[in-house]
Chains A and B, each alone.
Chain A
Amino acid sequence: MKRKISSLFLGVLVFFILSGCAGDDRGETKRENSENQQTASAMGRYIEEKIDLPVSVTTLFDLRSGEDGQMRMLFEDEPGSLYLYGSSDEGAKWNEQKLKTDWLPENYRVAAGCVDGNGNIFVCAGEMAKDPMARKTAVGIYHYYQIDKTGNAKEVSLELPAAKGEYLLMGYGLMQSALADDGKLYGILYKASGEGSSPDKVYCFDSESGKKIWSADMGNVDLALFDNQLYAYVYEKDMLKHIDTETGKELEETECPYDITNIDIKPEKNRVYYCDATGIYGTDPEMGIRELLVDGALSSFSRIGYDTGDLFCVKEDVFLLMLGSVSGDWELYRYKYDPSVPTRPDNELTVYALKENPDIDTLVSDFQEKHPEVYVRYEVGMQSESIKNESDAINALNTEIAAGNGPDVLVLNNLPWESYMEKGILADLGSCYEKKEVYENLFLPFEREGITRAVPVAFKIPMAGGEKSTVSNIHSAEELLEEVKATEETVLPLCISEEKLIRFMSSVYWQNVQTEDGSLSRENLSRLLETVKQIQDCIKSSKSEYANSFFWEEDENMDSFYEYFDASFASSDIFAMGLAYLDGTDSLAYLYNYNSSWQALSEGTFSPLLVGISQKSERMDIAEEFVRFSLSEEEQKSFDSPDNRVFFSGFPVNKKALKNMEKKPSKSDLEKRRLQWPPEEAFLELEEQIQKLKTPAMEDNIVMNTIEDSAKPYLAGEKSLDTAVNEIMQTLELYFAE
């Protein structure tokens, strides 16, 4: 009996074990089936199409669709102009509907305009300010014009309160106007207050007679008409209010974190659409469950340098979106659903950076734009919620790499790239660039045994900026100290924070501390720390009235490579010199404009933006294409072009791209930027310096953090120099010995 029971028990145990083991195959099949199903069903995507208009849109007044199926867009391209464009094919093609503007008085511009579903237009116009600093803003009392669909215009007098003298400085009249199909005109009265103009009340008028129907005090709101229903967005509360068009009273309100221009409401269909950088979403009026319709990652509006503007839902599968670029113009994009296209491109590329870096954002978004067949995922290690510090992030990354799931492209700044190179973690990038097209001296430090596994995409030069007579003498840390000591008492010697000073100096002069054989020189380290302390003491003992009034804000999660150079210090009487990185021809131009010069510190040192490809990448060809793209002349030229969407921090490594950057911009562009372009000698000097660059600055976080942690108490007088140096030496000797 006992034997039977134990045999039965054994049998049950074995059965369970075997069933657990046997589950694998079925599980794999299930997984495969599930993946196949997902692949099979994951079709359909909104395809982006840029709609080019013959005229640029600098101010969009209104975009409406009518019951006749016509869409109408009212805008201006420059002050004093007015255009009406129409589309009868859901926004795919637009034709100008000629508008006579002889009703607009001379030197007047349209301050606000709106169009209804029938093609009637209402315009508020004011005289352009004569002060050139005011950039032709409409000032004075506004005039109002109604233009019917046949183009006949008549002036309308709106029943508004009389304007006081001070209101006229910045313009007094109706803004954010909206014209309903029933002829009601809605708008917010703006009047000057203080140094700008502020909203007063919301008004409703009869657009024909100008008679006031109602007015309501709603505070600081934005207005919009959706399907002839009036909505007001209250900024302070992030609330969207539905307003009764008859009385101006509030009907209901919904919490809404989005700007009203980024929303389109279809009350009849009970749908709300909104957009942000991540995509266009559809949701219910309570903004509960949302559905991603247009993936921002595959569209232009997630790209850096673009701002989302007016969103318009033509119908559920067609959207129009105005995107604002850095140049100030608006661009019209159309998104139409295509069920035959995969939801997400089959090819995926993962780009990883430890810290946030807008320069990488730019490269990623430019690559995505040029390669719509690739889905680029950009990961920032420090942005993960579970990551507390850099060490955690690097460990997490290494775990992924070791498991074979690592990213394809690695931005190597702040990562142990030397170790990765030695271990064969990074792939050979020799085929990704032509040596004669780039500054080879910048690539040589990253070559090991003839193979290049990491490449600089951009670089910066550490420098001291200030008066030529001052900075030209600086060729070492000691000479910098001499110049600091020679500064007048009433002027702050350096424009740099205390925390940054030790890191900057250690990074730039590290080659004096670590010899070629890898050993550390205690003497040179002591000398460097002593020099930094003396510089700091000089700054602290300055009798400048600004000595303690500067607040240096730093973002720990931002890659320090991105910190951009502000040359304005050179023009101020507050600082004698600045320590920074020269990062573009614009920076050079600004120094020149401020009658300042620059001197490369620690000759031959540069700070690179470094990228590499994981050896285990399954998408090696796409990853190589990304690196190739980043180093291409075309992309590198965009780092600092006049119509650049964003400011890219760093010089291009491509020779032709740099030459292009040195070209004098157009007169209008120089006027716009208020710049004088430096003479050719300045660029020859720059190129000469670039040719001498051969040593990457020390940017290893372990080294920098060790120096900073031990040096800070010494610089504050809490520790002796010997103690600080001993601590640093001990830690770094261990680190390099590992």
Chain B
Amino acid sequence: MKKRYKKFKCFLFLVPSLAGVSVFVFLPFGDVIRRSFTSTTGEAFTGFQNYHTVFTNTAFRLAAYNTGRFLIVCVPLLMAVSLFLANIVHFQKRQFYRRVCLLPMAVPVASLVFVWNMLFHRNGLLNSYLKLSVDWLHTSSAFGILVISFLWKNTGYYVILWLTGLEGIPESLYEAAVLDGAGTMAKFFHITLPGLKPVASAVLILALTNVFKVYRECYLLAGEYPDKSIYMIQHIFHNWFRDMSIEKMAAGAVVVVCIFTVIVYPFRKKGGGNLGTLYN
């Protein structure tokens, strides 16, 4: 009885947040799932027709491919680069970078886009320096520019996250390793990486969600119909909304959420939260 009361009490503390999340996230998503099985007006039940339409839609496939490609390229790069920089900052005590690493995040997206335009436009600085006339933003090079932009803007934030994890690893472990004759790489693979496992899952999930935010730069740089290489999922959602293809949007959103869940779930399960797992 006491135990049940305790659980109930805990649950009650969750109620306000749960209510908010339910009203603003779960219920609308429930409606999206419902709409994914109906026509645009929501009156006729269409079964899996919308899913079929979405999966056979070449534009959606292109957008999904590009988003997946961007994910596969950017997330490992982001994690690797930020981990590398975090190690330098932590072990070599480069505190100056720690202070300035978040500055790129503070730059407004619109200003950033303005600068990219100045650099990469047909009549921009890069072309005038290289004496070329390439419209970088409207060719397949746009993908590379977007990757660079994403890494430049977000690396600092993940450096901070990694640093948090690094500071949680006891110094005594490294000292013990040194005494046992472990080198830098051995310490990295056998102490640092395992010690960062709890943080790694959080970093990965954040990186995955942040990848989707690159749409802002994309849209401001290249509009509703950018070069094929940077035509993302959000572009097609935006354009489907303009055409009132609500049912396709709903089906597409459900598909994206499912894929995202499949990618993220294994990492949540294995992440744990206790450094003690290192020794199990």
Q: Which residues of A are at the interface with B, using a C-beta cutoff of 8 A? A: 6, 10, 13-14, 17, 391, 394-395, 398, 401-402, 416, 419-420, 423-425, 615-616, 702, 706, 713, 718, 727, 730-731, 734-735, 737-738
Contacts and interface: CB of A to CB of B under 8 A. Distances in A.
A423 B12 contact: no
A734 B41 contact: no
A454 to B, nearest CB: 14
B236 A425 contact: no
B58 A416 contact: no
B243 A416 contact: yes
Interface stretch (B80-88, B207-215, B222-230): B222-230
Nearest to A16: B16
Given A402-B246, A416-B244, A706 B225 contact: yes
Contacts of B228: 730, 734
Band of interface residues on B: 20 to 34
Interface in B62-98: 62
B242 interface: yes
Given A10-B9, A738-B57, A738-B59, A419 B244 contact: yes
B240 A738 contact: yes
B26 interface: no
Contact of A425 (B12, B15, B41, B58): B41
B53 to A, nearest CB: 11
Given A395-B241, A419-B245, A14 B12 contact: yes
Top 4 A-B pairs, shortest CB-CB distance:
A423-B40, A419-B243, A737-B59, A731-B225
* Residue among A425, A706, A737 with most chain B CB within 10 A: A737
B184 interface: no
A394 B245 CA distance: 13
Nearest to A399: B241
A416 B238 CA distance: 14
Contacts of A718: 122, 133
A709 to B, nearest CB: 9
B18 to A, nearest CB: 11
19 contacts: A10-B13, A13-B16, A391-B242, A395-B242, A398-B242, A402-B244, A402-B246, A419-B244, A419-B245, A423-B41, A423-B244, A423-B245, A424-B40, A425-B41, A425-B244, A615-B41, A737-B57, A737-B58, A738-B236
Contacts of B225: 702, 706, 731, 734-735
A394 B58 contact: no
A13 B236 CA distance: 43
Contacts of A616: 41
- A interface SS class: helix
A547 B19 CA distance: 69
Interface in B1-58: 9, 12-13, 15-16, 19, 39-41, 57-58
A727 B138 contact: yes
Nearest to B239: A738
Contact of B19 (A17, A401, A419, A420): A17
Contacts of A424: 39-41
B231 interface: yes
A29 B125 CA distance: 64
B206 to A, nearest CB: 29
B68 to A, nearest CB: 17
B244 A734 contact: no
A730 B59 CA distance: 11
Contacts of B243: 416, 419, 423, 738
Nearest to A402: B246
A405 B108 CA distance: 34
A139 to B, nearest CB: 62
Contacts of B9: 6, 10
B42 to A, nearest CB: 9
Contacts of A398: 241-242, 244
A425 B40 contact: yes
Contacts of B231: 734
A394 B62 contact: no
Nearest to B225: A731
A420 B122 contact: no
Given A398-B244, A738-B245, 19 more contacts: A10-B9, A10-B12, A13-B12, A13-B16, A14-B12, A394-B242, A398-B242, A401-B244, A419-B243, A423-B39, A423-B40, A615-B41, A702-B225, A713-B122, A727-B138, A737-B57, A737-B59, A738-B59, A738-B236
A419 B247 CA distance: 13
Interface in B225-280: 225, 227-228, 231, 236, 239-246
Contacts of A13: 12-13, 15-16
A727 B243 CA distance: 22
A103 B224 CA distance: 76
Contacts of A615: 41
Nearest to B246: A402
Contacts of B224: 391, 702
A13 B9 CA distance: 11
A522 B15 CA distance: 60
Nearest to B247: A423
Nearest to B60: A738
A24 to B, nearest CB: 13
A706 B9 CA distance: 60
Contacts of A17: 15-16, 19
Contacts of B245: 419, 423, 738
Interface in B95-138: 122, 133, 138
A730 B225 CA distance: 9
Nearest to B227: A730
Contacts of B227: 730
Contacts of B239: 735, 738
Contacts of A6: 9
Contacts of B133: 718
A634 to B, nearest CB: 34
A616 B41 CA distance: 9
A192 B104 CA distance: 70
Contacts of A391: 224, 242
A441 B225 CA distance: 34
A423 B39 CA distance: 8
Contacts of B246: 402, 423
Nearest to A423: B40
A702 B231 CA distance: 16
A616 B246 CA distance: 15
A423 B243 CA distance: 9
Contacts of B57: 737-738
Nearest to B39: A424
A420 B244 CA distance: 7
Contacts of A735: 225, 239
A402 B231 CA distance: 26
Contacts of B236: 738
A623 B91 CA distance: 73
A398 B228 CA distance: 26
A395 B219 CA distance: 15
Contacts of B240: 738
Contacts of B59: 734, 737-738
A391 B243 CA distance: 11
